[in-house]
Amino acid sequence: MSESAAQPAPPALPVTFRPNRTRAVLLGVGSVMFATITAIALLLENLSPGERVSFVVTAVLLSSVLVLLSRPKVVADEAGVTVVNLTTTRRLEWAQILRVNLRPGDPWVFLDLNDGTSLPALGIQPGIAKARAIGDARALRALAETRGTGGAGR
């Protein structure tokens, strides 16, 4: 009884979990970095056109890395969960998720799957906003336990 009282109510679907503060920092730094490097390329008088272009291309590449790092999210809907990590996207049905784990010291949530593997879900990470990540992990766990097979037999 106390276990169900401590269990949060699952959120309304669809719901998206993502590290918003981390995303804001990464995109903000990427924008400032791009603008600064581009301004330097335009303001330096001794640069040839090719060197100016190389500065801007470097700014685009560095900013692109930060945009890539800001990509992770976890989207839960009626049919299942979509995990978007840095370079991959994986769609899971609720029945595939056995457990949602965020242990002390983990850099992000791990989903234990019914095929015996574990999938990192970088969209829920305690980096800057630990309390929010814990709440998001609990919400995703509640969804997985009510909609999938994770709660069966417990």
Q: Stretch 51-69: mean pLDDT, rounded?
A: 97
The secondary structure of 106-141 as a DSSP string is: -SSEEEEETTS-EEEETTS--SS-HHHHHHHHHHHH
Query: Which residues fall within 8 angstroms of residue 140, CB to CB, at 6 or more apart?
Result: 17, 74, 76, 81, 100, 109, 121, 124
Q: Is the pLDDT of residue 42 over 50?
A: yes
Instruction: Output the pTM of the full model.
Output: 0.83
| 38: enclosing H helix or E strand | helix 20-43
Q: Mind listing the pLDDT tens digit for each residue in 12-32?
A: 899 999 999 999 999 999 999
| 73: enclosing H helix or E strand | strand 73-76
User: 14 vs 5, which has greater pLDDT?
Assistant: 14
Residue 6: predicted pLDDT: 57
CATH architecture, domain defined by 72-147: Roll (2.30)
Residue 1: predicted pLDDT: 38
Q: Mind listing the pLDDT tens digit for each residue in 91-133?
A: 999 999 999 999 999 999 999 999 999 999 999 999 888 999 9
Q: pLDDT over 90 for what percent of the chain?
A: 84
Is the Cβ–Cβ distance between 149 and 95 less than 8 Å?
yes
